[in-house]
């Protein structure tokens, strides 16, 4: 299947703030294929969360301005849907969500079982579409319950019955995130968007959760879009990695090519900044530009040693060093030619 | 079982608090520079008459004995005798309690029934014209002096327009006492004219009393709903495509209401404080009016009785709210 | 406290808070400049029975009262009383309540618990109920109103400061100070106090409104400064028997109270939005 599951083209998103319009996404292109686990990496503020939420359609309504672009999912442009339709047909069905903080993402005054079964009422694979008044029949409730129990076992939660009766504050962080994974899989989705799912967890648990997510996703043929600022996590489970900088997509490559042969100057700096015995600690000189008045052309150019006049005015062209490996740069580098500053 | 522990726990706190209140009211009433007995006895009383009165009311005992007697008396329901009406104060208070309760309960009902939905709508349609109007009313409600609002209402609706009676609780004599609540008692015997009269007399006082209470409820509900709307769990529910009305009226409302319930104690305090002046303005024969009359008559014992009863009621309400909160918010059961 | 000018700037941008500040400013101006702004400054104590109960006119902006005195002028002088009562009552209760709260929060032991118990008892009753009892006992005067209000208000600050001190003690900056050998006094005054000061400031401002209302209610009930004091609550009480004809008599002082209390409420809300970080909404990234 060559048709991508998700194709974002030329997406431009702005937030209107007190200081002016913040251009958080600048003509972003992004692709995902079926059954792929893609990591979307970048520093805080690079736009990865915004892109993830744009796909879901849950950007803050009052201040969001989408001025251009398309988000084609399964052949249809999600930007053309009105919010109610998106909510009824796509969200929680074909595209599900794993949030960053599993604690505050559960409603504190309802039991876990209440919330999961409510989700099943509206979003289980057997649920009729639409958002009209819903009668939740006993037969369906029973089959849904069985499905829930199965999935809870698959995410390795002991005592599924007991957990359903508990309140969110009575369960541990790792267990909560496993529940979130289960809830994301229950509606039988095509795509799971996981927004920094391990940031709020202890380091020891992070790897477990990530591997669990990967295994289950691959078993069921579900694609996963996984945003993170942690390159190690991306290395752990991603088939492909896309880097963003200051609202622009910068490089995208299969894992091996990404970590072994990065071409964009920023990607190189990013990988270099991982502490290692030889190089010690290296930062990237300069600062992330303000998105209300970003640099023209390639937004990385003020901090880039390769920058030329073209970089300062035009959007960099696409370069394809190898199949599936895409770089947006006028002067891509390789590990051997990159001069260390 | 947990609830039982909670109740017992709170009761253990309740008793010393009321006892402490008694000490305070007693202390207050006995730092008077003036001599209430002499005042009551009048200018022409002789020294012996005053001494006799003093002995009769127990004012000649040393302070700590008076305090002890007072304690014992209160525990037996004896608040002393009103120097003015010559009747036991407990009797005075008891006879006036239903009037205040009827007023207060009606005010609570009105403010909750109007306040909560307004608060929800105000939050959901944030910054809309409705929201701004509601916030304007809320701010005004908290800045207006209750006694002044009462007078304005009287001026406008009773005097100018003649839509409601000016004051009092009912025209003529009230219904025979069954519960003490005029609305209930007249309905029970089917006297609808009396019912109507009682109801129409309730309108202005309830409106006055409910205004600040409603403003508070709207504020807290609005804040609670806004908090919930901006929370991560609402974001998650939206991301997973739950219908909007389920999110608002099931998930958001429950969270917001838990916060509002804890404010019931605060609201009751507002109502009690307001009742004093509102009853004064509308000549409503309740505890508040009793307090005001006692002030005019320098009836110290009566005022202390009023303070004690009101204080105890308030403490009791807060106790009930505390317990209820412990029961409905799962987070407190940790 | 860093950022005082910053606070002022942000306050200026909040229109409702700025409006509130203007109202308070008007109150201050009225109070301070009463002798010069008043058209009949002598009417605070002089009577002109022949001019009683006249409606608003060019000579008497807000009409005259039952003694023939100019209501507008008496209103201005009443502002002095209002400010005096509110500022002194809150000032005294803060000065008493805050240090007690600090001490109770810092030191543990039965004394702290006892203090909190006493505070709880005072707070268990609506302020006006106790204030009536106290004011009634002591007799109607401005000093007794202030006393009654102070006595019933200090426990509020004690409770507040106690809770905030207790939680501040768990903060690392306090632990650091103690580890460096700072005396309890230094810890409390130089470390804990500045960090809870914004909470105190916000509540003081909001508390002014409530205090003014309670003071006016006491005045209305006859427990405030006695005749011929131009206190606003008392004026409203006096006006009652002349309604509905002399409608201006009750309206003027009522509107004055309303504007002043609203001013403090709006300003307090604005301050809270600025100074209390927990209440600020954070935007999505």
Give per-residue pLDDT as tens, A87-130: 888 898 999 999 988 888 999 889 999 999 999 988 888 877 77
What pLDDT, on a 0 to 100 scale, did the predictor assign at position C220?
92
Residue C285 confidence (pLDDT): 19
Q: How many C-beta atoms lie closer than 10 Å to residue A268's C-beta?
A: 19
Average pLDDT value for residue range C142-154: 91
Judge whether B255 and B271 are in contact, CB under 8 Å: no
Would you say residue A285 has pLDDT above 60?
yes
Residue B243 reports pLDDT greater than 80: yes
Query: Tell me, what's the pLDDT at A24?
Result: 92
Distance of CA A101 to the CA centre of its chain: 14
C254 to B146: CB separation less than 8 angstroms, yes or no: no
pLDDT band at B332 (very low <50, low <70, confident <90, very high): low
A58 contacts in B (CB within 8 Å)?
A: 235, 238-239
Residues C137, B32: C-beta atoms closer than 8 Å: yes
The answer for C 174-213 residues in CB contact with B (under 8 A) is 209, 213
Measured between CA atoms, the residue of chain C closest to residue A24 is C285
Q: How near does any CA of chain B get to the CA of C191, in Å?
A: 31
- Closest-CA distance of chain A to residue C284, Å: 8
Residue that is written with structure tokens 């609570």 in the block? B108
pLDDT band (50, 70, 90) for residue A303: confident
Q: A146 vs chain C: nearest CA distance in angstroms?
A: 36
CA distance between the termini of chain C: 30
Mean pLDDT of chain C: 84
For residue B78, give how far its alpha carbon lies from the nearest alpha carbon of chain C (Å): 19
Cβ of B330 within 8 Å of Cβ of A84? The answer is no
The confidence score (pLDDT) of residue C96 equals 92
Chain C window 18-37: which residues touch B at a Cβ cutoff of 8 Å? none
Residue C282: its pLDDT value, please? 28
Distances B230 to A104, B127, B144, B283, C256 between C-alpha atoms, Å: 11, 15, 32, 47, 38
- Order of strands across the sheet that contains A240-245: A95-98, A191-195, A223-228, A37-41, A240-245, A248-254, A325-328, A318-322
Q: Are C230 and C256 in contact (CB under 8 A)?
A: no
Confidence of residue B61 (pLDDT cuts 50, 70, 90): low
pLDDT of residue B44: 63
pLDDT at position C279: 44
Judged by CB atoms within 8 Å, which residues 1-60 of A form the interface with C? 15, 17, 44-45, 49-50, 53, 59-60
**Higher pLDDT pick, A339 / B98:** B98
CA distance C131 to chain B (A): 10
User: Given CB atoms, is C223 within the 8 Å cutoff of chain B?
Assistant: yes
| Residue A44 with chain C: CB contacts under 8 Å | 285
Q: Is A263 on the interface with C (CB under 8 A)?
A: no
Res. A302: pLDDT tops 70: yes
Lowest mean pLDDT segment, chosen from A223-232, B179-188, C145-154, C218-227: B179-188
Checking if the pLDDT of B334 tops 50, the result is no
Write out chain B residues lying below 8 Å of A123, CB-based. Answer: 240-242
CB-based contact C285 A60, cutoff 8 Å: no
Interface touch B139/C266, C-beta < 8 Å: yes
Higher pLDDT, A246 or C190: A246
3-class secondary structure, B192: helix
Q: Please state, in angstroms and as integers, the Cα–Cα distance from residue B199 to each residue in A50, A63, B114, B204, B324, following that order.
A: 58, 49, 18, 10, 31
**In which band, very low, low, confident or very high, does the pLDDT at C262 lie, cut at 50, 70 and 90?**
very high
How much is the pLDDT for C228?
84
Q: Residue B303 — pLDDT band, cuts 50, 70, 90? A: confident
Which are the contacts of C16, defined by CB distance < 8 A and separation ≥ 6?
A: C266, C269, C270
Residues C185, C102: Cα–Cα separation, whole Å: 10
Query: Which chain C residue has the Cα nearest residue B297?
Result: C136
Express each pLDDT in B193-234 by its tens digit.
888 888 888 899 999 999 999 999 998 889 888 888 889 999
B313 interfacial to chain C (CB closer than 8 Å):
no
Distance (Å, whole) CA A280 – CA B107? 70
Rounded Cα distance between B61 and B63, Å, is: 6
Pairs of residues, one from chain A and one from chain B, whose beta carbons lie less than 8 Å apart: 82
Q: Which range in B54-63, C64-73, C74-83, C135-144 is most confidently predicted, on average pLDDT?
A: C74-83
Contact across the interface for A53 and C284, Cβ inside 8 Å: yes
Please indicate whether, in this complex, the C-beta atoms of B17 and C136 are within 8 angstroms of each other.
no
Distance CA C251, CA B149 (A): 10
Contacts of C244 in chain B (CB under 8 A): 155, 159-160
Residue A340: the pLDDT is 45
Q: How confident is the model at residue B114 (pLDDT cuts 50, 70, 90)?
A: very high
pLDDT band at A260 (very low <50, low <70, confident <90, very high): confident
How far is it, in rounded angstroms, from Cα A204 to Cα A211?
A: 12
Facing C125 at nearest CB: one of B139, B270, B311 = B311
Closest residue on chain C to B25 (Cα): C133
CA-wise closest residue to C86 among C203, C266, C214, C252:
C214
Spell out which residues of chain A touch residue B255, defining contact as CB-CB under 8 Å. Answer: 107-109
Token reading at A17: 């703030």
Q: Which of B111-125, C153-167, C267-281 is predicted with the least confidence, judged by mean pLDDT?
A: C267-281
Q: Which residues of C touch A50 (CB under 8 A)?
A: 284-285
Across the range B18-41, mean pLDDT stands at: 69
Option in A58, A92, A110 nearest B235 (CB): A58
The pLDDT of A283-304, averaged and rounded, is: 84
Q: Which residues of B touch C125 (CB under 8 A)?
A: 21, 307, 310-311, 314-315
CB atoms inside a 10 Å sphere around CB C188:
22
Cβ–Cβ below 8 Å for C254 and B273 = no
Query: Could you tell me which of C58, C65, C2 has the C-alpha nearest to residue C197?
Result: C2
Q: Examine the pLDDT at A240 and tell me if it is beyond 90.
A: yes
CA angle A328, A331, A335 (to 5 degrees): 95
What string of H, E and C letters represents the secondary structure of chain C? CCCHHHHHHHHHHCHHHHHHHHHHHHHHHHHHCHHHHCCCHHHHCCCCHHHCCCCCCCCCCCCECCCCCEHHHHHHHHHHHHHHHHHHHHHHHHHHHHHHHHHHHHCCCHHHHHHHHHHHHHHCCCHHHHHHHHHHHHCCCHHHHHHHHHHHHHHHHHHHHHHHHHHHCCCHHHHHHHHCCCCHHHHHHHHHHHHHHHHHHHHHHHHHHHHHHHHHHHHHCCCCCCCCCCCHHHHHHHHHHHCCCCHHHHHHHHHHHHHHHHHHHHHHHHHHHHHCHHHCCCCCC
Has residue A339 got a pLDDT over 80?
no
Cross-chain residue pair B140–C262, CB shorter than 8 Å? yes
Chain A residues lying within 8 Å of C284, measured CB to CB: 49-50, 53, 59-60
The answer to whether ipTM exceeds 0.95 is: no
Q: Which residue has the higher pLDDT, B258 or C217?
A: C217
Q: Which residue of B has its CA nearest to C140?
A: B295
Percent of chain A at pLDDT above 90? 35
Asked if the Cβ–Cβ distance from C284 to A50 is below 8 Å, we say yes
Q: Which residue has the tokens 């876990």?
A: A112
Neighbours of chain B (3+ CB pairs under 8 A): A, C
Chain C contact set for A60 (CB, 8 A): 283-284
Task: DSSP for A73-92, please give it.
Answer: ETTEEGGGS-HHHIIIIIBT
Most A CBs within 10 A among B125, B228, B231, B240, hence the mutation to make, goes to B240
Q: Closest Cα of chain A to B245: distance in Å?
A: 10
Interface of A with B in 23-82 (CB under 8 A): 53, 56, 58
Does B321 touch chain C if contact means CB atoms closer than 8 Å? no
Question: What's the gap between Cα B127 and its chain centre?
Answer: 33
What mean pLDDT is predicted for residues C79-104?
92
Indicate yes or no: CB of A49 within 8 angstroms of CB of C285.
yes
Locate tokens 């004093």: which residue?
A: B276
Q: For the residues B304-328, what does the mean pLDDT come to?
A: 80
**Burial class of residue A63 in the structure, from the number of CB atoms within 10 Å of its CB (0-12 exposed, 13-18 middle, 19+ buried):** middle
pLDDT of residue C150: 93
Question: Cβ–Cβ of A58/B238 closer than 8 Å?
Answer: yes
Q: Of the candidates C72, C155, C71, C151, which has an alpha carbon nearest to the alpha carbon of residue C117?
A: C155
Give the distance from residue C5's alpha carbon to the nearest chain B alpha carbon, in angstroms. Answer: 27
Nearest CB partner across the interface for B20, out of C117, C129, C209: C117
């Amino acid at each position: 299947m060559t048709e991508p599951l998700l194709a974002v083209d030329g997406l431009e998103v702005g937030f209107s703030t007190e200081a002016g319009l913040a251009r958080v996404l600048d003509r972003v292109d992004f692709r995902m294929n079926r059954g792929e686990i893609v990591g979307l990496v970048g520093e805080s503020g690079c736009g990865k969360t915004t892109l993830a939420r744009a796909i879901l359609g849950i950007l803050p309504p009052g201040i969001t301005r989408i001025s251009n672009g398309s988000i084609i999912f399964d052949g249809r442009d999600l930007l053309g849907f009105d919010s109610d339709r998106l909510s009824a047909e796509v969200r929680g069905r074909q595209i599900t969500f794993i949030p960053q903080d599993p604690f505050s993402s559960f409603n504190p005054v309802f039991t876990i079982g209440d919330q999961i079964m409510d989700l099943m009422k509206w979003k289980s694979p057997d649920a009729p579409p639409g958002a009209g008044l819903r009668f939740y029949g006993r037969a369906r409730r029973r089959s849904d319950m069985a499905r829930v129990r199965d999935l809870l076992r698959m995410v390795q939660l002991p005592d599924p019955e007991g957990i359903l009766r508990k309140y969110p504050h009575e369960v541990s962080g790792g267990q909560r995130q496993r529940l979130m994974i289960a809830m994301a899989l229950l509606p039988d989705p095509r795509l799971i968007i996981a927004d920094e799912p391990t940031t709020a967890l202890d380091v020891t648990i992070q790897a477990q959760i990530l591997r669990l997510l990967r295994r289950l996703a691959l078993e069921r043929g579900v694609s996963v879009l996984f945003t993170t600022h942690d390159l190690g996590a991306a290395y752990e489970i991603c088939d492909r990695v896309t880097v963003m900088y200051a609202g622009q997509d910068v490089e995208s490559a299969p894992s091996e090519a990404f970590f072994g042969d990065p071409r964009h100057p920023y990607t190189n700096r990013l990988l270099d900044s991982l502490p290692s015995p030889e190089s010690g600690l290296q930062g990237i000189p300069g600062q992330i530009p303000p998105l209300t008045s970003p640099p023209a052309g390639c937004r990385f150019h003020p901090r880039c040693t390769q920058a030329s006049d073209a970089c300062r005015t035009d959007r960099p062209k696409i370069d394809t060093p190898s199949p599936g490996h895409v770089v947006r740069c006028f002067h891509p580098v390789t590990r051997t030619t990159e001069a260390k500053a | 079982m947990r609830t039982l522990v909670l109740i017992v726990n709170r009761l253990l706190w309740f008793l010393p608090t009321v006892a402490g209140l008694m000490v305070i009211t007693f202390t207050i009433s006995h730092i008077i520079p003036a001599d209430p007995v002499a005042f009551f006895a009048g200018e022409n009383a002789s020294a012996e008459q005053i001494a006799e009165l003093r002995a009769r009311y127990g004012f000649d005992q040393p302070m700590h004995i008076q305090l002890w007697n007072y304690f014992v008396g209160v525990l037996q329901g004896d608040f002393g005798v009103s120097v003015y009406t010559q009747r036991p104060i407990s009797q005075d208070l008891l006879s006036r309690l239903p009037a205040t309760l009827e007023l207060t309960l009606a005010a609570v009902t009105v403010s909750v029934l109007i306040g909560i939905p307004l608060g929800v709508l105000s939050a959901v349609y944030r910054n809309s014209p409705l929201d701004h109007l509601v916030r304007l009313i809320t701010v005004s409600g908290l800045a207006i002096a209750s006694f002044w609002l009462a007078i304005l209402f009287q001026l406008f609706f009773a005097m100018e327009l003649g839509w409601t009676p000016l004051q009092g609780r009912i025209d003529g004599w009230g219904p025979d006492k069954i519960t003490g609540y005029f609305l209930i008692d007249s309905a029970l015997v089917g006297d609808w004219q009396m019912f109507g009269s009682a109801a129409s007399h309730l309108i202005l006082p309830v409106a006055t009393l409910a205004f600040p209470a409603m403003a508070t409820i709207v504020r807290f509900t609005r804040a609670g709903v806004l908090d919930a709307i901006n929370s991560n769990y609402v974001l998650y529910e939206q991301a997973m495509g739950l219908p909007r009305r389920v999110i608002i009226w099931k998930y958001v409302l429950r969270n917001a209401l838990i916060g509002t319930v804890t404010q019931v104690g605060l609201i009751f305090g507002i109502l009690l404080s307001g009742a004093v002046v509102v009853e004064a303005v509308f000549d409503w024969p309740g505890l508040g009016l009793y307090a005001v009359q006692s002030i005019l008559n320098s009836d110290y014992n009566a005022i202390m009785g009023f303070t004690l009863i009101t204080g105890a009621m308030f403490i009791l309400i807060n106790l009930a709210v505390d317990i209820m909160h412990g029961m409905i918010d799962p987070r407190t059961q940790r | 406290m860093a950022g005082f000018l910053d606070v002022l700037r942000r306050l200026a941008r909040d229109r409702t808070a700025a409006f509130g500040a203007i109202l308070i400013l008007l109150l201050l101006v009225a109070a301070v400049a009463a002798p010069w702004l008043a058209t009949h400054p002598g009417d605070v104590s002089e009577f002109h029975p022949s001019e009683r109960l006249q409606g608003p006119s060019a000579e008497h902006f807000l009409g005259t009262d039952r003694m023939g005195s100019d209501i507008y002028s008496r209103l201005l002088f009443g502002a002095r009383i209002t400010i005096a009562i509110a500022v002194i009552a809150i000032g005294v209760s803060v000065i008493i309540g805050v240090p007690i709260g600090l001490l109770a929060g810092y030191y543990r032991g039965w004394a702290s618990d006892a203090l909190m118990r006493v505070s709880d008892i005072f707070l268990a009753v609506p302020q006006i109920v106790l204030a009536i009892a106290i004011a009634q006992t002591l007799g109607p005067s401005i000093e007794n109103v202030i006393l009654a209000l102070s006595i019933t208000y200090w426990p509020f600050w004690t409770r507040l400061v106690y809770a905030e001190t207790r939680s501040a003690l768990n903060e690392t900056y306090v632990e650091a100070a103690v580890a460096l050998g700072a005396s309890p006094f230094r810890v409390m005054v130089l470390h804990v106090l500045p960090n809870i000061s914004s909470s105190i400031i916000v509540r003081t401002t909001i508390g002014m409104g409530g205090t003014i209302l309670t003071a006016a209610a006491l005045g209305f009930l006859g427990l405030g400064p006695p005749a011929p004091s131009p206190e606003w609550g008392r004026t409203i009480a006096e006006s009652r028997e002349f309604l509905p004809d002399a409608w201006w008599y009750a309206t003027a002082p009522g509107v004055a109270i309303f504007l002043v209390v609203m001013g403090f409420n709006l300003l307090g809300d604005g301050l809270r939005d600025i100074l209390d970080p927990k209440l600020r909404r954070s935007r999505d990234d």
